[in-house]
Amino acid sequence: MKSPALAPAIVARAVELALAEDIGSGDLTSRAVVPEETRLRAALTAREPLTLAGMPVVREVYRQLGDPEALDDAIQEGSRIQSGEVAGYIDTSARLALTGERTALNFLQRLSGIATRTRTFVDAVAGTGASILDTRKTVPGLRALDKYAVAMGGGINHRFGLFDAILIKDNHIAAAGGVHAALRAARSASPNGVRIQIEVDTLDQFDQALAAGAEFVLLDNMTPAAVQTAVHRAEAHVRLEVSGLVNLGNVRAYAETGVHDISIGSLTHSARAVDIGLDATELA
């Protein structure tokens, strides 16, 4: 569950698609209105409290537009900033700055929104020992960026995709013929070193998983009381994760059961883009 590096090739591909979508054959407005020789210095200003994520993507937007040094004085990723604080500056040709503005802000606002939402959950369970994890409920094609933003908010990245861990879910159990059969099949077919986790949604299934020797169990859609019972039944070597039914109002109750991990799809699928503006500070 290591946080992935934000690979330059992945960022470049995402930005290339976004710029092609927004610019097309050219920025008609900036080309018509802004003198070619004008330079602009503009502040990336937070308009609400937030946790910052996405500045490497902003830098890549302007690199692809022709100025790899356009982003200036950027503060550290993962920083908490208050309304009115400046996260960095865009200092480049005015035409270029304005052409890239929407694409840069779209990425920065979304990724900072994910980081900010993640941070609220991380803060809510502080001191309990529980970790906040993400899921695969991400924007198609942007999973690496979404998961990076979770990490910037203090969360932990769960499996990146279907290829790097085994998670036996309810439909897998049904198709395999039960908890024991599913775990047995997974053990016989999984590559060495690949973690095998099984999802259960009742205490009866949980007991079956323990009897079958499961070491990683996801407790799905269970109440805090049921999770507490599972924690008491599990041996010390069994790692327990909670998913489903979790929100800001009850996440600490889940964490205080003693569960190890809490995975929350809404970190990415329901994060609100935060408000960040690009405000001109100097023309030359």
Q: Tell me which residues are annotated as active site.
A: 102, 137, 169, 199, 220
Tally the residues of the chain.
284
As to burial, measured by CB atoms within 10 angstroms (0-12 exposed, 13-18 middle, 19+ buried), residue 189 is exposed
Q: How far apart are alpha carbons 208 and 28 in whole angstroms?
A: 64
CB 251 within 8 A of CB 263: no
Q: Which two tokens stand for residue 115?
A: 């980081």
Contacts 24+ apart (CB under 8 A), 203-208: 203/229, 203/230, 203/233, 205/173, 205/179, 206/230, 206/233, 207/233, 208/178, 208/179, 208/180
Kindly state the DSSP code that residue 138 receives in the 8-state scheme: S
Q: How far apart are alpha carbons 280 and 44 in whole angstroms?
A: 9
First and final CA of the chain: distance in angstroms? 48
